[in-house]
Amino acid sequence: MRRRSRSTGMMERYTSDGGLTLTSMMDILTTLLFFVLKSYVSGGEVTVPPPGVTLPRSTVNADMHTSVVVAIDHDGIMMDGERVATVEEAIATDELMIAPLAKRLAVARALMDNLAERKGEKHTVTRLATIQGDAGIEFRVLQKVMYTLDRNGFPDIALAVLKKA
Amino acid sequence: MRRRKQRKELVNTDLKLMPLMNIIIALIPMLLLSAVFLEVKVIETSLPRDADASAAAVAAEPATPPLDLAVHVRGDVYVIEGHGVAPLLVPRRSASAPDSAATQLLSQALRAIAASHPGTSEVRIVAESRTRYQEVIALMDVARGAGLVNAALEGAGDAAPSDVAPAAAEGM
């Protein structure tokens, strides 16, 4: 009788109401959530190359800054996600300046100057441009884009690359 | 009767985690789908400055002529040149990026030059018009590894491979 009462007590102690024990799973999911959220904020400026652009690989370790982005794929030259000229147009002439890109850069520069003026920034605004070029493009296209950027008020140029593992 | 009433007032203190679980389970796939796992980095570069500005700088410091180190990409060779440096030819076998042997030779040569000219951090990468972008980036990596962190890009036009004159007058 005494033994029975002890076993009955143990049964009562371990009997649950049928609900799932989710605490350990919650721990895992919470850790995963923090990990994913951290991967968003650890890299500073986050950018995704446009579809069709495979960035070259490099060992460099400098982070990207907010800037005007010019992307070059095998067919065209894009600025801020919008196609402004084709590669054929760019290489058709001997001139280093790409006129449609220059026009877009002038607009962007005017906007940046206007914004700086409204903010009351008296010092010269640093104009940085980032080139997201496909690894397979020819240097002459890159050369013309860089020249156009330099001559249109964007002398600081950054070349976007993928970090080598 | 009193004892029965006390039993009924017992409250279940377990946390109700299911709503939170539902949120987290929806949130994690959404974040994973929109996450960027490729690390995009940047190489800061510039165009070579005007020859007039360089000449003015040279006039201001007449002690020694600048090294003006350049790595030229030619047909089947890389040529390392500079003032006071004997031109060095490194075979170029691949048109997409320097192979490991070429990388090693270029790296050794640039390290030696950088060591013999302390304070030098500038190099020009003079590429041909059809040189692939990946090859230019690979050369910049080699130069950076040798301590030449300020690499400027320059176009060589369509000069003949035997022509060893630097192409600084191309406009870039």
Taking chain A (165 residues) in runs of 10, the rounded mean pLDDT of each run is 52 58 84 80 65 88 85 90 88 88 90 84 74 91 92 89 84
A139 with B127: Cβ contact below 8 A: yes
CA separation, residue B162 to residues B98, B158, B170, B172 (Å): 20, 11, 18, 21
A60 with B40: Cβ contact below 8 A: no
Domains of chain B: 2-34 (no CATH), 51-170 (3.30.420)
Confidence of residue B13 (pLDDT cuts 50, 70, 90): confident
Nearest to B44 among A37, A62, A163 (CB): A62
Q: Which residues of B touch A (CB under 8 A)?
A: 12, 14-15, 17-18, 20-21, 24-25, 27-28, 31-32, 35-47, 127-134, 136-138, 140-141, 144-145, 153, 155, 171-172
pLDDT at B142 exceeding the cut of 50? yes
- Please give the Cα distance from B71 to B152 (Å, whole number): 10
- Please give the Cα distance from B155 to A140 (Å, whole number): 7
pTM: 0.71
Please give the structure tokens belonging to residue B18: 């299911």
What are the E-state strand segments in B15-143?
40-45, 70-73, 77-82, 85-91, 122-127
pLDDT at B171: 35
Contacts 24+ apart (CB under 8 A), B166-170: B166/B68, B166/B70, B166/B72, B166/B81, B166/B124, B166/B126, B167/B72, B167/B126, B168/B48, B168/B51, B168/B124, B168/B126, B169/B51
Average pLDDT, chain B: 76
Q: Quick one: average pLDDT of B27-40?
A: 78
Q: What ranges do the domains of chain A cover?
A: 2-41, 57-163
Residue of A nearest to B140 (CA): A58
pLDDT at A148: 92
Nearest to B133 among A22, A39, A135 (CB): A135
ipTM of the complex: 0.73
Burial of B12 (0-12, 13-18, 19+ CB in 10 A): exposed
pLDDT at B172: 38
- Please give the Cα distance from B76 to A51 (Å, whole number): 33
B21 with A22: Cβ contact below 8 A: yes
Quick: pLDDT tens for B51-109. 455 555 555 555 666 778 899 988 888 999 888 888 888 888 877 777 888 888 999 99
- Specify the CATH architecture of the domain A57-163: 2-Layer Sandwich (3.30)
Q: Quick one: average pLDDT of B4-28?
A: 77
- Please give the Cα distance from B91 to B121 (Å, whole number): 24
pLDDT at A131: 92
Please give the structure tokens belonging to residue B66: 């600048």
Nearest to B136 among A139, A158, A160 (CB): A139
Q: How far is B39 from chain A (nearest CA, A)?
A: 6
**Is the CB of residue A55 less than 8 Å from the CB of residue A133?**
yes
B133 with A133: Cβ contact below 8 A: yes
pLDDT at B3: 55
- The DSSP symbol for A138 reads B
A36 with B28: Cβ contact below 8 A: yes
B153 with A150: Cβ contact below 8 A: no
Beta bridge partners of B8: none
Q: Quick one: average pLDDT of B23-45?
A: 82
**Is the CB of residue B138 less than 8 Å from the CB of residue B51?**
no
Closest CA to B46 of B171, B166, B154, B168: B154
Closest CA to A108 of A159, A70, A61, A60: A70
**Chain A residues with beta carbon closer than 8 angstroms to that of B22:** none
Beta bridge partners of B151: B123
pLDDT at A1: 46
Burial of A71 (0-12, 13-18, 19+ CB in 10 A): buried
A138 with B47: Cβ contact below 8 A: no
- Please give the Cα distance from B141 to B149 (Å, whole number): 9
pLDDT at B170 exceeding the cut of 50? no
What are the E-state strand segments in B74-157?
77-82, 85-91, 122-127, 150-155
* Count of C-beta atoms within a 10 Å radius of residue A23: 10
Q: How far is A30 from chain B (nearest CA, A)?
A: 8
pLDDT at A36: 80
**Chain A residues with beta carbon closer than 8 angstroms to that of B20:** 26
**Chain B residues with beta carbon closer than 8 angstroms to that of A143:** 127, 129, 153, 155, 172
Using only C-alpha atoms, chain A has a radius of gyration, in whole angstroms, of: 28
**Chain A residues with beta carbon closer than 8 angstroms to that of B14:** 19
A58 with B18: Cβ contact below 8 A: no
Nearest to A62 among B41, B137, B138 (CB): B41
